Amino acid sequence: MDVRGYFRHLDYLLLAITLGLIGYGATMIYFATRHDPLTSATYYARSQLLYAAVGFAVLVAVSTIDYERYRRWQWALYAFALVTIAAVFALGPVTRGSRRWLQTPFMNFQPSELALWIVTVAMAAFLVDRMDLLGTRRITVQALAYVALPAALIFFQPDFGTATVFIALTIALLLFYGTRWTHFATLFAASAVVFVAVLDVLPALGLHLVKQYQIDRLLVFLHPGRDPGASGYNVMQSMIAVGSGSLTGRGNLATQTQLDFLPEHHTDFIFAVVSERYGFVGAALLIGLYVLLIWRALRIATLSRDMYGSMMAGGIAVMFLFQAFVNIGMTIGIMPVTGIPLPFVSYGGAALITSLMLVGLLESIHVRARHAVGPGGQSGKR
C-alpha cells in the first residue's frame, strides 16, 4: 500500500475522538495538580502531553504495519510479555507494597500494560488458527490457560486491576470467536467458586492470596459507610466531589480537588475531578466521547477484512468499555476500587502509550479493510 492509500483509508473520526479524550485528560490533570506542592503548576499536564506525543508516534508505527504480521509473531510476542512481566519480580522497585515497573533511562516501563496489547494480538491469533476447534470445550480451556499465566503473574505483583482487564479481554475474544454460551455459564460458575475459595476458604486454612488492603476495598464497596477515615476515605471523598458538581460544576470553587481532600486526583479518581469542576454536563461530555470511541472500534470490527481483525477490534472495544466503566464506577461507589485508570484521561505514561497502541491497531485494521474493499463495496472476510 502506498502512502496516499494509507492516508486515504485512515479513520480520522477515531483519531479526532482520541485527541479529544487526551486533550480533555490533560486539561483535567492540570486543574487537578496545579496547586500540588513540590511541582510546578503544569508539571503533570506537560508530562502527559509528552507521553501522548510518544504514544502517537507509536500509534503511527503500529498502524502502518499490516496486522497479519502479528499473527506470525504471536509466540515471540507472547514470550516477550511473559519474560518482561516476570522480570518485574527480580528487577522492579517496590512501590507502595507492589512491584509493577521496570526502570529505564527514559521512563518507568510497566510490562503489564504492554502485555494488554500483546495478548490482544497474540490470543486472537491463537484462536483464529484453531477455527476447527470452534465450539469445543478444548479450545475454551486452552484459551483460558493461555491468558492465565500472564494474568496470574500480574495478580501476584500485586495488580488486581490489570489482571481483571485481562479477564475482560479474554471473555471478549471468546465471545467474538463464537464460543458457546454454556461455556460462559460454566466459566462464571467456576469464577464464583474460586472467588469464595480465595476470600473465605483458603484464608481459614492459613493461605492468603489476597492482600488485606484489597479485602478492605471490597468491604468498603459492599458497605459504603465502612471506615470512612481509612479504607473508605478515598471513595467517600470521591462521591462528595462528584455530588458537589451538580449540573454544571463548581469551576474554580472545586474545593475537594484544590484543597487536596480528594486523593489520587490525577490518576484513579480523575473522573471525580471532572464531575466536581464541570458537573453532569462535563461528565456526560466525557462519557459521550467514550461511547463514540467504542462505536468506532465496533464498526471497525464489522468492516475488518478477516476474522482476526474483527476479533481484535471487538476485544479492544470491550477493553475500553470495561476500563471506563470500572474507573467511573469506583468514583461513584458502584464498583470496588481496583486501580484501573480511565483510558486516555488518567495520568500515566505506560497506560496512555498502550491505549494509543491499541488505537494504532484499530487504524491498521481499518486501513487494510478499506484498501481491500472491491468495486462492489464489499470486503472479503476469511
**What average pLDDT does this structure show over 234-252?**
89
Element (H, E) at 108: strand 108-109
**What is the pLDDT at residue 210?**
72
Q: At 36, list the grid cell.
A: 500540588
Which band of pLDDT confidence, cut at 50, 70 and 90, is reported for residue 382?
A: very low
pLDDT tens figures, 345-358 = 999 889 999 999 99
Judge whether residue 284 has pLDDT over 50.
yes
**What average pLDDT does this structure show over 36-55?**
90
Judge whether residue 335 has pLDDT over 70.
yes
Judge whether residue 255 has pLDDT over 90.
no
Average pLDDT, the chain: 88
Judge whether residue 377 has pLDDT over 60.
no
Phi-psi region of 279 (alpha: psi -120 to 50; beta: other; left: phi over 0): left
* CA 235/CA 272 separation, integer angstroms: 10
**What is the pLDDT at residue 56?**
96
The residue type found at 326 is: V
Structure-derived torsion over alpha carbons of residues 330, 333, 336, 337, reported in degrees to the nearest 10: 50
**What average pLDDT does this structure show over 148-160?**
90
CB atoms inside a 10 Å sphere around CB 192: 10
Judge whether residue 314 has pLDDT over 60.
yes
DSSP assigned state of 280: H
* CA 9/CA 244 separation, integer angstroms: 44
Judge whether residue 277 has pLDDT over 60.
yes
Judge whether residue 44 has pLDDT over 50.
yes
Judge whether residue 99 has pLDDT over 90.
no
**What average pLDDT does this structure show over 365-374?**
84
3-class state of residue 103 by DSSP: strand
Judge whether residue 380 has pLDDT over 90.
no
Mind giving me the DSSP string for 349-363? HHHHHHHHHHHHHHH
Which band of pLDDT confidence, cut at 50, 70 and 90, is reported for residue 193?
A: confident
**What is the pLDDT at residue 375?**
45
Which band of pLDDT confidence, cut at 50, 70 and 90, is reported for residue 379?
A: very low
Which band of pLDDT confidence, cut at 50, 70 and 90, is reported for residue 376?
A: very low
pTM of the model: 0.91
**For the chain, what percent of residues have pLDDT higher than 90?**
62
**What is the pLDDT at residue 109?**
80
**What is the pLDDT at residue 247?**
92
Judge whether residue 293 has pLDDT over 50.
yes
**What is the pLDDT at residue 180?**
92
Judge whether residue 359 has pLDDT over 80.
yes
**What is the pLDDT at residue 381?**
45
Please provide residue 108's backbone torsions phi and psi, each rounded to the nearest 5 degrees. Answer: -75, 130
* CA 368/CA 371 separation, integer angstroms: 5
Judge whether residue 218 has pLDDT over 90.
no
Judge whether residue 201 has pLDDT over 80.
no
